[in-house]
């Protein structure tokens, strides 16, 4: 950890960080609980995420890549997603979908962040809270004509010496 980021106690119960990208970089263990209110079902996702530099043709960008196992109703199988991060001079991060479309701005400097995103008829309410120097909670509340779910994810930082090489969804190695 050391000088990769500085974290201090926040007024809102979240731990303030000086630079959002510096805080989220690295390898994380993920535990996600999913509640589908429309279908009346619950499930979970367990896996890993890595925030690492993007390929050289995407200067200044970082890749968020997660992979793991989804257990939802009768389904059990592999799952994952990718996002693109771009650190900003003010300590925030512009988050984009893997295809480059804008998603939201992540600002953990106060120890917590809230954002909204409209995706067609669906509405995403996102919240993040830094619980400790190595623990981040993320909540996605999604509502729309065909969606009504809550996803709560705990990100626990993995020590550097335990970081593994992860595979992106298209099969390229990310270190």
Structure tokens given for 131? 């619980």
Model confidence over 23-67: pLDDT tens digits? 999 999 999 999 999 999 999 999 999 999 998 888 889 999 999
User: 10 pLDDT exceeds 70?
Assistant: no
Average of per-residue pLDDT across 79-105: 95
Residue 23 confidence (pLDDT)? 96
- Average predicted confidence (pLDDT) for the chain: 86
Model confidence over 112-167: pLDDT tens digits? 999 999 988 999 999 999 999 999 999 999 999 989 999 999 999 998 644 444 43
List strands edge to edge, sheet with 135-143. 102-106, 93-97, 75-87, 61-72, 41-53, 26-36, 148-157, 135-143, 122-132, 112-119
Average of per-residue pLDDT across 75-92: 96
User: Which CATH number is correct for 2-162, 3.60.15.10, 3.40.50.970, 2.40.128.20, 3.40.710.10?
Assistant: 2.40.128.20
What is this structure's pTM?
0.82
User: 175 pLDDT exceeds 90?
Assistant: no
Residue 161 confidence (pLDDT)? 47
Residue 164 confidence (pLDDT)? 44
Domain boundaries, the chain: 2-162
Query: What percent helix, strand, coil does the chain show, rounded to 5?
Result: 5, 60, 35
Residue 153 confidence (pLDDT)? 98
Contacts of 152 (CB under 8 A, 6+ apart): 32, 33, 137, 138, 139
Model confidence over 97-122: pLDDT tens digits? 999 999 999 999 999 999 999 988 99
Average of per-residue pLDDT across 9-33: 86
| CA distance between the termini of the chain | 18
Residue 160 confidence (pLDDT)? 65
Our CA angle for 23, 157, 135, nearest 5°, is 75
């Amino acid at each position: 950890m050391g000088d990769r980021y500085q974290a201090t106690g926040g007024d809102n119960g979240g731990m303030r960080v000086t630079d959002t990208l510096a805080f989220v970089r690295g390898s994380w263990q993920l535990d996600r609980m999913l509640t589908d209110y429309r279908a009346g079902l619950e499930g979970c996702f367990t896996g890993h995420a890595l925030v690492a530099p993007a390929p050289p043709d995407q200067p200044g960008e970082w890749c968020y890549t997660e992979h793991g196992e989804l257990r939802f109703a009768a389904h059990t199988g592999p799952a994952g997603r990718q996002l693109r991060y771009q650190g900003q001079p003010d300590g925030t991060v512009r988050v984009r979908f893997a295809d480059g479309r804008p998603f939201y701005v992540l600002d953990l400097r106060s120890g917590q962040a809230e954002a909204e995103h409209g995706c067609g008829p669906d509405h995403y309410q996102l919240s993040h809270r830094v619980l400790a120097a190595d623990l981040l909670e993320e909540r996605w509340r999604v509502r729309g004509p065909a969606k009504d779910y809550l996803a709560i994810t705990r990100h626990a930082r993995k020590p550097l010496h335990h970081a593994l090489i992860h595979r992106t969804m298209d099969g390229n190695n990310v270190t």
